[in-house]
Structure 1
């Protein structure tokens, strides 16, 4: 049954591409689920691949790739729970809000790793709450988090010696899976390999720093959102001169802005020439809503291209 389903999807995609190419029509965006076996525990999982408007109607075009790492609230089993990753970020903007974003997107799902045992907001989720694409329009955006606290920026900590490099049970645990997804999409799709980008919010912001530090040569730019990077991760990023744009929020009581500065200052100390940092002082932890809703980040990403090797 699984093979038959995959065959039907392949035929449908081929027919759509042929029709678009011969009639001059612009192909609509599509959202695919790709199967994979996790290198961590051999579990069978899936990840999303988003193909933008015009992908099938222009077979000679090479597209930039944007990998997105979600936050802690969107974890799941990579099967029936994969839809939770549609709640936020660039895929939410492109697929649910129908924002015209010219990227192939790779959107995986972080396993639970036992986090649901002590997090009510993970245990109490409902699959029925996953946002759905509407044929005739777009759904209303959810209300933003309440942030009644005053703006009160504080000084950077003097030492990061006791702060862990990554969050527990984070994206570092499936590093091999993420790089394999990226390599697979490069092989199987129309990809501009000099324009591979990485972004993530909250837990995914921490993951963005980590993955970039381990594979700085893979990416043309990174954009961690409301997730700071540990100073010990910065040397490979600085050496690669990897362009980055980090985002924090002044009213954030989940990820404090004071922890951003040591890593960013370390990059400058190491001579990194392309450090960009924006603090949304009036926003709380969900500053990612503004960041991904705006065109600014996407335009900046598209301006970045990895040098020829």
Structure 2
């Protein structure tokens, strides 16, 4: 696994610079292969301008420890200070388009994973771009119940801690219930003895990545 720091400058209504890390899987040198793409959105405390702090955080931390060898390109952008992922929605979609254009990405296998603030960002991006993602994995978060119908054709596996005192578990269960009311495909894992920080438990689950590989848009 190699992790490379990169930057993307996006000009929409304002000039936004999104720094990101990108990791290529073993075997990426094979020019005949295309790979699934995972975009991982971090939580609030990782915002800023120091992209290096994300190199051993969340999904990349678990990969660095050798617990997982994932057959995906993994991209980890950094949200600017005093901003949120929904505010940087256009920048993230521009980043995805750049990665797809410059790397050997299977366009039918683009996935979103996010924790806490990043989980809210996952819900928001998928609601606004429901056809862009083969599956989403929100952790410790909730979504816009009034827009749940937009996700009726999106594969979802959500994770939450029952003892979360930052984002109550009801925020997640209410969103999942709303999606199911629109005949959506939503799967929910609740950790009965855990609180808000469930990243390691959820992201160390090899079954999650096997499930992702089964999802295509």
Is the counterpart of residue 261 in structure 1 residue 173 in structure 2? yes
Which structure 1 segments of 5+ residues have no match?
1-28, 114-168
Is the counterpart of residue 234 in structure 1 residue 157 in structure 2? no
Whichever structure has more helix as a proportion of its residues is 1
Identify the match of residue 61 of structure 1 among 25, 29, 33.
33
State the secondary structure of the residue aligned to 1:285: coil
Asked if the contact 1:209–1:233 (Cα under 8 Å) also holds between the matched residues in 2, the reply is: no
Asked if the contact 1:89–1:288 (Cα under 8 Å) also holds between the matched residues in 2, the reply is: yes
The root-mean-square deviation of aligned C-alpha atoms, in Å, is 1.4
What is the CA deviation profile of residues 107-140 of structure 1, one whole-angstrom value per residue up to 9, with x for unaligned ones? 1001111xxxxxxxxxxxxxxxxxxxxxxxxxxx
Whichever structure has more strand as a proportion of its residues is 2
What is the CA deviation profile of residues 143-179 of structure 1, one whole-angstrom value per residue up to 9, with x for unaligned ones? xxxxxxxxxxxxxxxxxxxxxxxxxx42011111111
1:134-153 paired onto structure 2 within 5 Å:
none
Q: TM-score, normalised by structure 1?
A: 0.67
Instruction: Name the CA distance, whole Å, in 2 between partners of 1:230 and 1:43.
Output: 25
Is the counterpart of residue 70 in structure 1 residue 42 in structure 2? yes
Instruction: Name the CA distance, whole Å, in 2 between partners of 1:267 and 1:44.
Output: 34
- Matched residue, 2:25: 52
- Matched residue, 2:192: 281
Is the counterpart of residue 203 in structure 1 residue 117 in structure 2? yes
Which structure 2 segments of 5+ residues have no match?
none
Deviation at 1:252, TM superposition (A): 1.0
Deviation at 1:182, TM superposition (A): 0.7
Flag as ranges the 4+ runs of structure 1 deviating above 6 A.
none
Deviation at 1:43, TM superposition (A): 4.6
Deviation at 1:35, TM superposition (A): 2.0
- Matched residue, 2:209: 298
Asked if the contact 2:18–2:91 (Cα under 8 Å) also holds between the matched residues in 1, the reply is: no
Deviation at 1:41, TM superposition (A): 4.0
Structure showing greater radius of gyration is: 1
The verdict on how the C-alpha distance between 1:196 and 1:298 changes in structure 2, with shifts beyond 3 A counting, is same
Q: TM-score, normalised by structure 2?
A: 0.94
